[in-house]
Amino acid sequence: MNLLESVLASWQSIYANKMRSGLTMLGIVIGVSAVVFLVSFGRGHEANVTAIFESMGANAIYVTSSRSMTAGVAGATSSLTLEDAKAIATSKQAPSIDLVAPMIEKMGNVTYGNENSVVDIVGVTPEIADITSYPVAKGRFISEQDVKRGADVAVLGHKTASDLFDTEDSLGESIRVSGRKFEVIGVVEEKGSMFGSADDFVMIPLTTMQARIMGQTSARGRPVQTIAIQAVSTTQIEAAREQTTSILRQRHHIRENEDDDFVVIDMQEILNRMQEVLGIFQVFIGSVGGISLLVGGIGIMNIMLVSVTERTREIGIRKAVGAKRRDILRQFLVESAMLSFSGGVIGLMLALIGTLLVTGIELGAYSVKAPMSVDIAIIALSVAIFVGLASGIYPAFRAASLDPIESLRHE
C-alpha cells in the first residue's frame, strides 16, 4: 500500500465514523483557532501600540525628575525647572538637540455650562506640538506670545471638546479650568489610543499653569514635571541624551560619583520595552491555544488506540495477505495525521472568520486590528500535523506489532 492509498483509506475510515472523528478533531480545532486568532490579535495590538508611540515622536527624548511626584504637588518635588529647559535649548553644548518643550501635568476639573469633566491639564510651550505631533483640527495652537504673557487660553483634546461641547463650535467659548476662566483657541486632531486618554486633555500655556494653577516655586527656579526634547535626527538620539545629561548634571551641581536626580529616556527605548512586554503577552496567549492542541493530541491518541482494538481482525487479515509491518504503521500514522490536519483546516477557517469579525471594531478612538498572516497559518497547521503524528506513533506501533494469528482469532 503506497502513501496515496493510505490517505484514501484514512479518509474512508474518518468518513465512516463521522461523529467520533468530529469529536476527536474538536481539540485540534479549538487549539488551532485559538492560537491563530490570539496571535493575530496580539500582532494587531502591537502594531497599534507601535503606531501610537511613533506618533509621540520617533526621535523624542523625555527627561523627568527621579524624585517621587504626586498629582497636585509635582512642582514641589521636581528637580527640573523651566530654567533647565531654557539652558538645554540655548546651550552650545547640545548641537544634536533641535527642540525643547518643558511640561507640567495635573488632573483637574474642566467645566462648560452644566458640563463637567475630569481631564489631564497640561502646561506646555509651542514646541510640544512639533515634538509629539499635535496637529490642530480647528483654531490655532498655543503661541510663544501666549506663554510670555501668561494668557488664559486653552487648546482642547478631541474627546474633551466633544464631551464639553458635543456638536457645538468650541472656538472662542469660555471654559473653567480648575475654577479659572480660559478662552478656547483650538482643538487638536483625534489621535486615538487603547489607553483612553490620548484625546482627553486641556493644554494651557506653561507660564499660566505655573502661576495660576500650580503656584509652586523652588530655589532653583520655576519647577516643571517633564522636559520633552527632539533630537535633530533619529541617528543623533544617543548624542542628544548624553548632551542633555551633561548639561543637567552641571546645572544641578552633581559630582562625578553621585547619581542623577533626573531620568532621561527616549521613545525608542520605551517602544522596545513595550514590545518586549507584548512579546511575552503573545507567548502567553499562544500557550493557551497550545494547551488545547495538547488535549486534542491526547484525544487523537485515545481514539486511535480504540481504533486499533476495533480493527484487530482487519489488521490480521491484511498481514495474512502480505501487508508488511511498515504498511500497517504507515496506515495508522497517516490516519492520525489526517484527523489532525482536518481539525487544523477547520480551526484556520474559524480563526479567519473571527479575525474578519473583530477587525475594524471601534473601541472609542481605538480601532481593533487582527491581521492573519500566512506564516501564522502555516506554523499552526504544521504544529497540528506534528501533534497528530506524535499522538499516532504509539497506536501505530501497537497495531504494527500485533501477531497475525492472534489477530485473526480476535472477535
Q: State residue 181's pLDDT score.
A: 93
DSSP string over 151-177: --EEEE-HHHHHHHHTTS--TT-EEEE
Looking at residue 361, its pLDDT comes to 77
User: Average pLDDT of 226-253?
Assistant: 90
> Can you tell me the distance from the alpha carbon of 47 to that of 90, in angstroms, rounded to the nearest whole number?
37
Same domain, 212 and 312: no
- Name the domain boundary from 212, 237, 260: 260
Q: Are residues 204 and 294 in the same domain?
A: no
Domain match, 26 and 141 both: no
Range 281-291 burial, b when 16+ CB lie within 10 A, else e: ebeebbeebbe
Domain that holds residue 117: 67-260
The reply to whether 59 falls in a domain is no
Q: Same structural domain for residues 210 and 141? A: yes
Q: Look at the pTM and tell me if it is higher than 0.85.
A: no
Same domain, 169 and 314: no
191 in any annotated domain: yes
- Classify burial at 215, counting beta carbons within 10 Å of its beta carbon; exposed 0-12, middle 13-18, buried 19 or more: exposed
Do residue 241 and residue 281 come from a single domain?
A: no
Q: Do 86 and 186 fall into the same domain?
A: yes
Confidence of residue 144 (pLDDT cuts 50, 70, 90): very high
Quote the crossing angle between the two packed helices 18-55 and 3-16, to the nearest 10°: 100
Domain boundary residue, one of 204, 228, 260: 260
Distance CA 303, CA 392 (A): 9
Range among 55-59, 104-108, 166-170 rated most confident? 104-108
Mean pLDDT of 137-160: 92
Let me know if residue 60 belongs to a domain.
no
Helices (H), 202-253: 206-208, 237-251
Please, which pLDDT band fits residue 222 given cuts at 50, 70 and 90? confident
Q: What is the pLDDT of residue 322?
A: 74
247 and 155 fall within a common domain:
yes
**Residue 406 CB: number of other CB atoms within 10 A?**
10
- Say yes or no to pLDDT of 175 above 90: yes
C-alpha cell at 219: 530655589
Residue 194 confidence (pLDDT): 46
- 231, 285: one domain: no
Question: Does residue 353 lie within any of the structural domains?
Answer: yes
256 and 283 part of one domain: no
Of 52-61, 73-82, 224-233, which one has max mean pLDDT? Answer: 224-233
Rounded to 10 deg, the angle between the 325-358 and 374-400 helix axes is 150
Rounded CA separation 262/65 (Å): 4
Average pLDDT taken over every residue of the chain:
81
Instruction: Fill in the amino acid letter for 187.
Output: V
Domain termination residue (choose one: 260, 291, 308): 260
- Please state, for a pLDDT cut of 90, what percent of the chain lies above it: 22
For the cut 60, the answer to whether the pLDDT of residue 195 exceeds it is no
Residue 146 lies inside a defined structural domain of this protein: yes
Query: Regarding predicted confidence, which is higher, 194 or 153?
Result: 153
Judge whether 85 and 65 are in contact, CB under 8 Å.
no
How much of the chain exceeds pLDDT 70, in percent? Answer: 87
Residue-level pLDDT at 76: 46
Task: Give the model's confidence band at 321: pLDDT under 50 very low, under 70 low, under 90 confident, else very high.
Answer: confident
Helix then strand then coil, in percent of the chain rounded to 5, is 55, 20, 25
Specify whether 75 is located in the same domain as 222.
Answer: yes
Tell me if residue 303 falls in helix, strand or coil. Answer: helix
For residue 6, is pLDDT > 70?
no
Stretch 347-353: mean pLDDT, rounded? 90
Alpha helices in 252-324 (DSSP H): 267-310, 312-320
The mean pLDDT value for 313-337 works out to: 78
With respect to residue 58, please indicate whether it lies within any of the assigned structural domains.
Answer: no
* Domain presence at residue 15: yes
pLDDT at 156 over 90: yes
pLDDT tens across 86-135, in order?
A: 999 988 888 999 999 999 998 889 999 888 888 999 999 999 988 887 88
For residue 360, the model assigns a pLDDT of 78
Indicate the pLDDT class of residue 214, thresholds 50, 70 and 90.
confident
Q: In this structure, is residue 267 part of a structural domain?
A: no
Count of the separate structural domains present in the chain: 2
Give the model's confidence band at 46: pLDDT under 50 very low, under 70 low, under 90 confident, else very high.
confident
* CA 178 to each of CA 169, 201, 314: distance values in angstroms, whole numbers, following the listed order: 22, 13, 85
Residue 71 has pLDDT above 70, yes or no: no
Both 29 and 169 in one domain: the answer is: no
